Homo-oligomer: A and B are copies of this chain.
Amino acid sequence: MPVAAGTRYMREVNTAAVLTLLRTVEHTSAPELARQAGLSRQAVSRSLSDLGEAGLVEFLAPVRSGVGSGRPAQRVRFRAEAGHVLGASVSPERIRVGLADLSGRVVAAHDTPPPVSEEIGSEVTARALTDAAHRVLAQARIEVGGVWHASIGVPGIVDPATGRVRFAPSMPGVTGDVLIRALGEATGREVYLDNDVKLATVGELWHGGGHRSMVLIHWGERVGAGVVVAGALHRGAANDAGDLGYLDLFTDAPAPDRGEDDAFLGAFEAWTGTGAFAALGREAARERGDHTLLTRLARPETRTATLVAAVTDGAPAALAALEEITRRFAQGVGAVRALLDPGVVVVGGPMARCGPTLLTALRAHLRRQRLDPPPLELSRLGEDAVVQGALRHSLDQVEHTRLRPPSTTG
């Protein structure tokens, strides 16, 4: 149903165009905007005065020390502080909340471990989240009403239409709509909730090199991917695209090693996740008589950190484990390459802490495959990717609802 409209619509289009230009620079002037937008200065001025009344634009005093001659232009500035968005990441390890203004600049952040009694009831986790949210608002001296949108990322299967968590094996307490309800009541706004890897992908895409297609692979205990095609996240028919952990490469191969606490692990993540990495590390340490490493790897909760540190220290047993785990992982990257031919593959999650050594090893294995390997990068945001992606999602929502004209054609 393409729908067209009258002159009022044209005005909205032009105002939105002016605003978009304005948002890309620190400050500028009406004549400059007119040149960039292809509009007359008057049309720009009209739009600017509308935007000024809406609180989105501030008029600044003219700058006197212009190099060229002529009357100095009145400067205008996008008022990024006119509104704010909230982004949160809730995982078994951390509750992270960030507050950003309309330009995406983070003005306050909070990072706290989740309450230990999480399994008692989801209300505890939800309260910890809203507490953190109130804390960042206080920190930035922003009223609750100044939050225009909020998004949350959690590890689990999410229905993105409703924001309900269908299944979250690592934190059963957040199943259902506890989190969006709690944060919704706290902010008075509708809250978006999505899978953490998907939001992390949005975050990496935002701060990455502007790739049109990209795959972020979260490499940890579990393995999951976010698929970006044509500059946008691809969710899949059941919001389950990028479920790399369940890739089954091993038709005729023997059953892969499995970790200990992994009833729900898929074939690929059981074979390549941090559980398998620790098993490989123990084996290599035993073979090489590295008793120090072997002892340290006995503690399950720190085994991945131990092994990653051993890799960066150059311990031979750890490097041997890395060699094997990257050989396996390269098979998954190869499948991604064959199907999607992405512009870049970004590796994130706990394994990414191994650093460039990881990519070097991966690249060596990929070169043995028959297809040209995709460019590899390490996650730029690390732990922050989920919050950044949540902020980006909220900013997108705000831009589409409050900073844009209605779409021309449906």
Q: Which residue numbers of A lie inside 8 Å of B, CB to CB? A: 1-7, 9-10, 13-14, 16-18, 20-21, 36-39, 43, 213, 225, 227, 229-230, 232, 234-244, 246-254, 266-267, 328, 331, 334-336, 338-343, 369-372, 374, 405, 408-409
Contact = CB atoms under 8 A, between A and B. Distances in A.
A108 to B, nearest CB: 31
B372 A334 contact: no
Given A1-B36, A16-B409, A225-B339, 7 more contacts: A7-B10, A227-B340, A234-B340, A241-B340, A250-B251, A250-B252, A340-B340
Contacts of A334: 247-248
Contacts of A335: 247-249, 335, 339
A289 B109 CA distance: 74
Nearest to A232: B230
Contacts of A10: 4-7, 9-10
A241 B341 contact: yes
A269 to B, nearest CB: 11
11 contacts: A3-B37, A4-B14, A6-B10, A9-B10, A227-B229, A241-B339, A247-B335, A251-B328, A253-B253, A266-B370, A408-B408
Contacts of A37: 2-4
Nearest to A253: B252
A235 to B, nearest CB: 8
B338 A246 contact: yes
A226 B2 CA distance: 29
B338 A243 contact: yes
A209 to B, nearest CB: 12
B370 A237 contact: no
A302 to B, nearest CB: 30
Nearest to A234: B229
Contact of A236 (B236, B239, B248, B342): B342
A371 B39 CA distance: 53
A369 B247 CA distance: 10
Nearest to A370: B246
A336 B236 CA distance: 11
Given A237-B342, A251-B331, A17 B38 contact: no
